[in-house]
Structure 1
Amino acid sequence: MLPFDTAKFQVTVPITINLVLLAAYIMLGALMFQSFESWKFHSSCYFTFITVATVGYGDYYPKASMVNDLGASFVATAKMMISILYLLAGMALLSMAVNLMQEQIVEKCRWLAREIGLSGDSNAPKDPNAKKDPKALKDSNDSKDPNAAKDVEAGN
């Protein structure tokens, strides 16, 4: 149990900030792989996103820098380690950003459901007739249209 109230320290990060941060991270990775592999920028962006998202189609994979630097094994190992660490950090960043965005979207959907009356949430505004006795409703309907309640009772 935490000795302080965590609700006070809850911070929401706007969805646009999350998306900009992810885009910047992917572009930075693209520049890195463009440098390592001599790929075009859009191919490097594609590879970085596909790898960070753990889709991995296998159509792009780092090979040129590993083969070219085979004689200089330290350089090849350093590039490999930098790539692995960068992609692992990207997976964590993507996971965190998606989770933050999911929480905000779910909260906005709940708010919308409460606003339009679709939610059975206890915080939602109650229908004023919801807790009334059915006989009281029948009596109130009788005063407006005496035949309406009889039609309902008869099944018409």
Structure 2
Amino acid sequence: MLSLKSAGASSTSRLSRLREEYLIDELDYEEYAVGSSGDGTRADRTRPVPIWLCVFLVVSYIFGGAFLFSEWENWPFLDSAYFCFITLTTIGFGDFVPAQRVKDNAEVSIALCSLYLLFGIALLAMSFNLVQEEVISSVKSVAKRLGIIKEEEDEEDD
């Protein structure tokens, strides 16, 4: 093993720089992990996604899909919106089926519909999860203010 004495002054300065960089990296990590105020609460580490943004994304996705299906399938816009909502929420009554009237490129129509539904169901699940977390956080905050739950109970859950 190489000792500091035999390596010379240049190695000593390199080692000291490495130690300094390691300490700086470690401090940056601790600051990131704990949060800006230093108390380590979850609110410091994450910023909630506004509920209106989730609703806007879902409604936009449904209306965008309704426009596409009204063009692809020659359905009225409201029927297309109904199909998108019923299908994305996995209710699926089956009264509207894509590529039923289309004889040419039915495989392409089914593939595009499948991609739309795959990403749409993932978007809906993500949005529901984000809204659920925000609602739970709000209910816990109100319960703390009313004295229903104590501060310690909430910290144990996180």
| Paired positions, count | 116
Which amino acid letter does the alignment assign opposite residue 55 of structure 1? I
> CA–CA distance in 2 between the matches of 1:79 and 1:49?
18
Task: Please say if 1:5 is aligned against 2:33.
Answer: yes
The structure with the larger Rg is 1
Per the alignment, residue 84 of structure 2 pairs with 48
Unpaired runs of 5+ residues, structure 2, are: 1-28, 35-41
TM-score (norm 1): 0.66
C-alpha distance after superposition, 1:10-67 (max 9, x if no partner): 3321000000010000001001110111111111111101111111111222144xx4
Aligned counterpart, 2:139: 109
Tell me how far 1:121 sits from its aligned partner: 3.9
Higher normalized helix content (fraction of residues): 2
1:85 to 115, 138, 145: 115
Deviation at 1:78, TM superposition (A): 1.4
Segments of 4+ in structure 1 off by > 4 A? 6-9
**Alignment map for 1:20-31 (pairs within 5 Å):** 20-31=56-67
Cα gap change, 1:24 to 1:123, in 2 (>3 Å): same
Identity rate, percent: 34
Question: Residue 109 of structure 2 aligns to which amino acid in structure 1?
Answer: K
Please, which runs of 5 or more residues in structure 1 have no aligned partner? 125-156
Quote the offset at 1:123 in angstroms: 6.9
Alpha-carbon separation, structure 1, partners of 2:65 and 2:146: 44
Q: Give the aligned partner of residue 53 of structure 2.
A: 17
Which residue of structure 2 lines up, in the alignment, with residue 138 of structure 1?
Answer: none
Take 2:47 and 2:146, find their aligned partners in 1: how far apart are those partners?
Answer: 27
Pair 1:118 & 2:118 matched: no
Q: Which AA in structure 2 matches 1:115? A: R
| RMSD of Structure 2 on Structure 1 (CA) | 2.2
Give the TM-score of the pair, scaled to structure 2: 0.66
Report the AA paired with residue 91 of structure 1.
I
**2:127 is equivalent to residue 97 of structure 1:** yes
